[in-house]
Copies of this chain bind each other. A is one copy, B any other.
């Protein structure tokens, strides 16, 4: 197997964007190519992640991207695993480079949905649940994560104010991220007084609907060295699955796919959770981040919430969780999110994260899942 490296990264701002889906995909991809110091012709294929191309009337995005980049003869494909699409696409690209099929690829995640409005977006997203048991019964994602939050409150020593603190922390980080969607300082009181979406989750416990595109250049170590410039190495990659419907799981305060994916990634990287300096985790709702940090084994089950209370996951504390602002503040363009996490890791490990830099960071982790964690991928990166 070849060593696989990230050689460049680019991203649009996350938020309500006016440009179309093909344009923002091209903008992010071109930015990553430029950042890597390579030419489009060096890119041998494109791995795109996108869920609702239908919403902007363009599926089969790959050939449009390749044509826009001036390399229409190169193969491309789109990968979908709901909100985990980005990390799953990254995983497939990783596998292809590791196996020697390509020496240099672009991985581009994108979503463009906000123009369809909240009702349509919520409806589309519900198609990512186990629709027979969940979506068609009227349960959309806020309701599903609210069930998890309610179970967590019942099972462990936690309060709604503790969940709110996750949002406060991630907004504190997002303020420092020029590309974040919600760059606004909030307090626990703000969260507690925001509209109840699905009790116990309030509006400010939920990530926003965002548009956006993020891209990274993935290549062999030899290619990275030959083309100069900063790069980081992918040292761990793991995937996992969980029962599609929440009702099919024995416990709903843990996500089995995170554990499977993380354990595989740690094993491959030859590290333990303690070695991780910072992590971009899937905080679609505040409860999700708490569960994630436990399933990633940063904390024991039930103790993730204490870590939040004791401020051990904020920037440059014990472990910096979501230095980018996470899905909560940076935003959640669902097809882009997993790739955007890698952009953050690349920026952090190559000294481009500005005010939100995690000091002396050597190892970063990305964790991104689809739906309520029915699918998941975890990747671990190391500076060189």
Contact = CB atoms under 8 A, between A and B. Distances in A.
A88 interface: yes
Contact of A96 (B95, B245, B256): B95
A78 B127 CA distance: 14
Contacts of A77: 79-81, 88, 92, 375
A350 B77 CA distance: 31
27 contacts: A22-B131, A52-B59, A53-B80, A54-B124, A57-B135, A59-B127, A60-B127, A60-B244, A60-B371, A60-B375, A62-B375, A63-B242, A63-B244, A72-B244, A72-B248, A72-B374, A74-B241, A75-B375, A76-B241, A77-B80, A77-B88, A77-B92, A78-B79, A79-B80, A95-B99, A98-B99, A99-B101
Interface string A125-156: 01111111001100000000000000000000
A63 B74 CA distance: 30
A240 interface: yes
Given A60-B244, A72-B256, 18 more contacts: A51-B59, A59-B127, A60-B80, A60-B128, A60-B371, A62-B241, A63-B375, A64-B130, A64-B132, A66-B241, A67-B245, A72-B243, A72-B248, A73-B256, A79-B79, A92-B96, A95-B95, A95-B99
A330 to B, nearest CB: 22
Contact of A81 (B60, B131, B377): B60
Nearest to A82: B60
A260 interface: yes
A58 interface: yes
A126 B54 CA distance: 10
The 6 A-B residue pairs whose C-beta atoms are closest, nearest first, are A99-B99, A63-B374, A63-B244, A75-B239, A60-B82, A72-B243
Nearest to A136: B57
A66 B244 contact: yes
A52 B124 CA distance: 12
A200 interface: no
A82 B59 contact: yes
A151 B196 CA distance: 61
A128 B60 CA distance: 5
Given A54-B127, A98-B99, A131-B58, A81 B76 contact: yes
B80 A78 contact: yes
Contact of A241 (B58, B63, B130, B374): B63
Interface residues of A, number: 64
A344 to B, nearest CB: 23
Contacts of A72: 241-244, 248, 256, 374
Contact of A80 (B64, B67, B80): B80
A74 B81 CA distance: 13
Nearest to A75: B239
A208 interface: no
A370 interface: yes
Interface string A84-95: 000010001001
B63 A370 contact: yes
B76 A375 contact: yes
Nearest to A23: B132
A73 B240 contact: yes
A129 to B, nearest CB: 8
A134 to B, nearest CB: 10
